């Protein structure tokens, strides 16, 4: 098993899922979720043609940035972001996928203003209504999108979601369908259908996500292998 072979296999599975629903695989952006994998693994994924790398932890990303781990591919932040760490992320990544609260949105806007840039973001949807998870509730999403539109240093490119880890397959698919419906709705209502990014699907469910409208999948284990958490 190599990262290159794994990426080829994931691409084939993406193509097969697209084939089943009449989509073009070129519509799907493959994000390698590279948490807990070192700079060498990131470089291997880039050499093998990964579209984007996505990181979860600010400290790990900062370290790997200093090692030039991401040279040659865009970098996204996909993990939970604390407000006191936005300075280390804004302007360092092409897209922050995980903006899931108004205070965080405001903090990103403020930091981007300070840097005199426009930061691309996704609004994260907490589709399972999980207490411990960040993300806007579906009922709050439109207000959040309007708040972002009123800001001049953030630009909303779409939505991201992580369904509850323990949902069964049918429930998971229903969550994808719900988020897609929200995406289609706000895209038409607020964004003149200019949003292009619906980020959903991971190693265990990216084919279901693609069949239900994902344009971006975030794949870790199926590319980099199992992660070993130190005990
Ligand atoms: C780790 C991670 C992934 C990838 O998870 P796998 O199941 O290993 O593919 C995707 N999205 C986010 C936000 C993650 O933290």
- For the chain, the average pLDDT equals 97
Q: What is the whole-number distance in angstroms between the Cα of residue 193 and the centre of ligand 1?
A: 27
Q: Which letter, b or e, does each residue of 145-159 get, where b requires 16 or more Cβ atoms within 10 Å of its Cβ?
A: bebbeebebbebbbb
Cβ of 134 closer than 6 Å to ligand 1, yes or no, is: no
Ligand 1 pocket residue status of 199, Cβ below 6 Å: no
Please identify, by atom number, the ligand 1 atom nearest to the C-alpha of residue 97.
13
The percent of residues above 90 in pLDDT, for the chain, comes to 97
Extents of the domains making up the chain: 3-223
The residue behind tokens 């939505």 is 159
What's the pTM? 0.97
Give the integer Cα–Cα distance in Å for 105 and 86.
10
Average pLDDT over residues 44-70: 98
Distance CA 186, CA 130 (A): 22
pLDDT reported for residue 171: 97
Ligand 1 centroid – CA 114 distance (Å) = 31
pLDDT tens sequence across 111-162: 999 999 999 999 999 999 999 899 999 999 999 999 999 999 999 999 999 9
Positive or negative: CA dihedral 101, 104, 110, 112: negative
Fold entry, domain 3-223: TIM Barrel (3.20.20)
The pLDDT value given to residue 52: 98
Q: Which of 33, 99, 160 to mutate to test the pocket of ligand 1 (most atoms within 8 A of CB)?
A: 33
């Amino acid at each position: 098993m190599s990262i290159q072979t794994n990426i080829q296999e994931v691409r084939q599975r993406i193509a097969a899922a697209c084939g089943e629903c009449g989509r073009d695989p070129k519509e799907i952006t493959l994000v390698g979720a590279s948490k807990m994998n070192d700079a060498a693994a990131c470089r291997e994924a880039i050499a093998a043609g990964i579209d984007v790398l996505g990181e979860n932890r600010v400290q790990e990303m900062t370290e790997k940035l200093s090692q030039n781990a991401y040279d040659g591919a865009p970098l996204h932040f996909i993990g939970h972001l604390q407000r006191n760490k936005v300075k280390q992320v804004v302007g360092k990544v092409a897209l922050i996928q995980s903006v899931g609260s108004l205070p965080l949105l405001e903090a990103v806007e403020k930091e981007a203003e300070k840097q005199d840039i426009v930061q691309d973001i996704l609004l994260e949807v907490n589709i399972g209504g999980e207490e411990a998870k960040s993300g806007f509730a579906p009922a709050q999403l439109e207000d959040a999108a309007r708040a972002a539109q009123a800001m001049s240093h953030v630009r909303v490119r779409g939505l991201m979601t992580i369904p509850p880890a323990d949902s069964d397959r049918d429930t998971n698919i229903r969550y994808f369908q719900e988020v897609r419906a929200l995406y289609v709705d706000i895209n038409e209502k607020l964004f003149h259908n200019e949003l292009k990014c619906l980020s959903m699907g991971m190693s265990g469910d990216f084919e279901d996500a693609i069949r239900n409208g994902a344009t971006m999948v975030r794949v870790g284990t199926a590319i980099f292998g199992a992660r070993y958490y130190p005990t």
